[in-house]
Every structure is written in structure tokens, then in C-alpha cells.
Amino acid sequence: MVATDVKTDKEIRDALLIELECEPEITSHDIAVAVNDAVVTLSGFVHSYWEKAAAEKAAKRVFGVKGVANDIECKLPSERTDPEIARDAIQLLQSHVSLPAHRIKVTVTKGWVTLVGSVDWQYQKSIAESAVKEVKGVVGIADEIEIKPQVAQTEIKTKIEDALKCSAELDAQHITVEVVDGSVVNLYGRVGSWAAKDEAERAARSHPGVTRVENYITTNP
């Protein structure tokens, strides 16, 4: 008999029920779980959007799960008005020193929050959405924030080239930096090791305004 790590739907469901029971962010006892061909369907009711998101994350952590359909509904213990939700969301965004809150606008319709505007980094977009999830009364979030760096393309190129020259692990003479679409960095050339290649990419990613790095550097020990 050949051993296999494939889990049955029942095993996946049992594991997920334990995961939900152990998740401290989930307080609702009204979550139902169904599994068909390793695809999990979550249904029922919770008291916040944050709790709904936590249930989905718990399902994705279970070994063997191939997909998750999150049909959980947010049933708030007491309704809040859209202006109250918007006010709290704006205050939370402003409290994060790493966020350009003046570039993010919040609209709320029947508990659904829409975030629009722009930030410099992907992590700022993620922080904004995570912050709003904590607001009492939120039933859903549409994150339409765009990543639009406020740094000039030529400035990005110059700073990255300077950083490469300062790295003791790199021979910057053999690395070419190209910036396209305002914020995407392409690295070309050759280095002596994978560690040096990774160091070049790390140096490029560490600068404000960079949204993506394409590392085309080759290794030639």
C-alpha cells in the first residue's frame, strides 16, 4: 500500500473546526463549514468583518484545502451609522505614522467601506485595509488604493546605483539599473554568487518609490 498525504473532505472539515475553535479572534459560534473536493465553504454569521476575515485565514491554513468560498455574513450586535464608521476609519488611518492619510479617501455605504487614493508602497495599502477592518460596524471593504510613488524615476535610479556602489558584496560596475513605468526596477548584469544577486535585489527594493523589482542578473562564480 502506498502512503499518501491527501486528506479526505471529512478530515479537512474536522481540522478546520479545530482551527476555528482555537482562533482567538473568532468568538462567533454560528459559523458553518462544508467541504467538497477539498474546497471549503464558510457560511453563517459573525459580529465583525475582522472576524469574517479571520475565519477565512484559518481555512487557508488547513493542510489539504484547495480553495475557500467565504459566504459568512456580518450580523452586527448594534447598527452604526455610515458617518460614524467613516469618522472612525479616518481617525485610524491618520493614527498610522507610516501612512500618507491625506492621500486616502474613505466612503461608507451601508457598512461597506471603500478606500481610494494612492500610497508609495504595497505594505501601506495592506496597512490601510487592515486598520479599517478593526472599525466597529464595517461589513466589507473595497480596497481601491493605487500604488503611485511620489519619487521621480531618475531619482530612484540614482539612489539605487549609489546603494549598489556602497555594498561591499557587490561589484556595481557589472550591474545595470533600469527604471520603467515610473516605479518598476529592472536589474541586469552579472555577479559572482546567488547571495550577491539577492543583495542587489534587496538594495533595489529598499528605496521609496519602488513597487516591483525584476532581477535579470546572472551568476558567474
pLDDT digits (tens, 9 = 90+) for 72-113: 988 776 678 898 899 999 999 999 988 999 999 999 998 999
What is the residue range of 126's domain?
Answer: 82-147
**Is there a domain that residue 4 lies in?**
no
Total domains in the fold of the chain: 3
CB 103 within 8 A of CB 121: no
- pLDDT score recorded for residue 2: 42
Same domain? For 21 and 58 the reply is yes
**Is there a domain that residue 1 lies in?**
no
Same domain? For 118 and 90 the reply is yes
Domain CATH number, residue 58: 3.30.1340.30
Rounded mean pLDDT of 2-28? Answer: 85
Confidence of residue 1 (pLDDT cuts 50, 70, 90): very low
Same domain? For 215 and 167 the reply is yes
**Is there a domain that residue 20 lies in?**
yes
Bridging pattern class, strands 104-109 and 31-36:
unpaired
Last residue of a domain, one of 90, 115, 147: 147
CB 58 within 8 A of CB 19: yes
Say what the pTM is.
0.49
Phi, psi of 159 (to 5 degrees): -65, -40
> What are the cell numbers at 198?
539577492
Same domain? For 53 and 91 the reply is no
- pLDDT score recorded for residue 166: 82
- pLDDT score recorded for residue 78: 66
pLDDT digits (tens, 9 = 90+) for 20-78: 999 998 988 889 999 999 999 999 988 888 899 999 999 999 999 999 999 998 877 66
Same domain? For 24 and 69 the reply is yes
**Is there a domain that residue 3 lies in?**
no
pLDDT digits (tens, 9 = 90+) for 146-169: 887 767 778 888 888 888 888 766
- pLDDT score recorded for residue 168: 64
Last residue of a domain, one of 127, 147, 167: 147
